[in-house]
Amino acid sequence: MWNRENIEAQWAGWTERAERAMSVLRPYRHRLALFLAVVGPGLIVSNVDNDAGGIYTYAQSGAKYGNTVLWMLIPMTIVLYVSLEMCSRMGAVTGKGLSDLIREEFGFRVTFFLMAVVLIVNLGNVMAEFTGVFWASETFGVSRFIAVPLAAVLVWAIVVAGTAKSVERIFLSICVVYLSYVVSAFLAKPEWLISLLHLLPPQLMHYLPTVRPFVQVPPFSASYVIILAALVGTTIAPWQHFYLQAAVVEKRVGPRQYPTTRNDVLIGSISCMVIVFFIIVCTASTLYVHGIRDVDSAGTAALALRPLAGKWASALFAIGLLNASLFAASILPLSTSYVICEALGFESGIDRKFSEAKIFYGLYTALIALGAIFVLFMGRFANAILLWSQVLNGFLLPVIMIFVLILVNRRDLMGDQTNPKGFNWVAWISTVAVIILTLVVAYSSIRELMGHPVS
């Protein structure tokens, strides 16, 4: 029976435990406060690329090859972290954005041509994100002629009416919605131990007698290599490097605060791969197991889950798709505006008023409006839009990564913060691997657009 004495005794016990916990955490309060002040850009930029195109690719890979693609996640985490860490370090050390450094070091002509390509590529990417919005809206029975304009107005208002701090808080809150994929995966009831075993290369695990019965070795074929290349190509995008470096500069992160920003990038890279893991596991344990191999859109994947894993798994998958598409539709035009304005010397930044940065906000508005309009009236070409955006990303990414590697190893720019020799080896090997894989994706996408898919 509860009485006053029992309640007071219980409260005293809870207070004592809380004080003990605070005494343990007290030495780390300063570090925690510093991390919370700097956290944001790395977490946002890593997770935002789990967009409509990414989710479509992850769902397709899980449906077609099951758990056998999961071993790529660990190498992908390393490549994502290495490429983004170099950009965040350059931003902290130089105080300048990537396009700004390219203009200063390589000249205006090279920069102007590169910015023109970035503008075209990112317009295609914005169209792909609004494609994701109408895929998700159709899952809930809402017409794209209602969903896409509403989404366009929403993502425009978030940035134009906000400040850098408020926009970052909104973006960080959106990251939490990615947990819908975690819940969706649990509702699919996969065999978790088997999924975890496939995080290591199944070709090697097959030689261990104790785990051989639980490991499936994929057939080595052209289509399997292409799906692996597509996983890398959709996870690491050219625009991420520009946005991350610009965000680090806008937060005024310097060399002293940089170790905390590096942790932010690391946590972001790992969290991105965790979400990818759950998406693939969800589709592998439902679509793949039941023989549904062809997924023509991320919306189709969400609908296909309904009879296999229940309406809640399907709804949560669609919510995750809508969230990812809105998130990327906000960030991509913003990244492009930063890139163009930095490169050409125009005022930029969310903290500036519309009248102070007309070109910056004008570009942002135009990209959203054009992306939404094109998707509304070219919706039947959704898959072609997605494929072309992958092709263009594939051609642009190697160029950006080479620029990053050249700049980050310049001692006159970076001082003693250039890449260490070991890190440089990893960075160049990662870059060469990404170049090869993205060219494979570009080649396969072009063949598919021409009506000759690779088998």
More confident call, 2 vs 195? 195
pLDDT band at 85, cuts 50/70/90? very high
More confident call, 333 vs 162? 333
Amino acid at 412: D
pLDDT band at 298, cuts 50/70/90? low
Among 76, 81, 453, 155, residue whose Cα is nearest residue 294:
453
Written as six digits, the tokens of 108 are: 């205006």
Written as six digits, the tokens of 257 are: 């605060």
pLDDT band at 16, cuts 50/70/90? low
> Which of 35-49, 260-274, 364-378, 426-440 is predicted least confidently?
35-49
pLDDT band at 405, cuts 50/70/90? very high
Do 167 and 40 meet the contact criterion of CB atoms below 8 Å apart?
Answer: no
Written as six digits, the tokens of 197 are: 């075993």
pTM of the model: 0.81
CA distance 187 to 308: 10
CA distance 60 to 296: 8
Provide the percentage of residues in the chain whose pLDDT is more than 70.
82
In this prediction, residue 28 carries a pLDDT of 46
Q: Quick check: 375 pLDDT over 70? A: yes
Integer-rounded Cα Rg, in Å, for the chain is 23
CA distance 102 to 97: 9
Q: Quick check: 429 pLDDT over 80? A: yes
Written as six digits, the tokens of 401 are: 């990564």
Q: Quick check: 149 pLDDT over 70? A: yes
Segment 210-235 shows an average pLDDT of 80
Among 243, 296, 231, 229, residue whose Cα is nearest residue 122:
243
CA distance 393 to 238: 7
pLDDT, the chain, mean: 80
Measure the N-to-C terminal CA separation of the chain; round to a whole number of Å: 71
Q: What is the pLDDT of residues 117-139, one digit of tens each?
A: 888 888 888 888 888 888 888 77
CA-to-CA dists, residue 52 to 196, 237, 389, angstroms? 25, 13, 11
More confident call, 191 vs 436? 191
pLDDT band at 11, cuts 50/70/90? low
Sequence-distant (6+) residues with CB within 8 A of 355 are none
In this prediction, residue 8 carries a pLDDT of 58
In this prediction, residue 37 carries a pLDDT of 43
For 270-326, what is the HEC assignment? Answer: HHHHHHHHHHHHHHHHHHHCCCCCCCCCHHHHHHHHHHHHCHHHHHHHHHHHHHHHH
CA distance 194 to 212: 11
Segment 418-438 shows an average pLDDT of 83
Give 222's Cβ-side CA count (13 Å radius): 9
More confident call, 30 vs 164? 164
- Residue 350 DSSP code: T
pLDDT band at 35, cuts 50/70/90? very low
Q: Quick check: 98 pLDDT over 50? A: yes
Provide the percentage of residues in the chain whose pLDDT is more than 90.
8
> Which of 25-29, 166-170, 402-406, 410-414 is predicted least confidently?
25-29
Segment 237-256 shows an average pLDDT of 84
> Which of 31-35, 98-102, 229-233, 438-442 is predicted least confidently?
31-35
Sequence-distant (6+) residues with CB within 8 A of 59 are 279, 283, 287, 295, 298, 301
Q: What is the pLDDT of residues 335-357, one digit of tens each?
A: 888 888 888 878 877 777 777 78
CA distance 390 to 409: 29
- Residue 215 DSSP code: -
pLDDT band at 242, cuts 50/70/90? confident
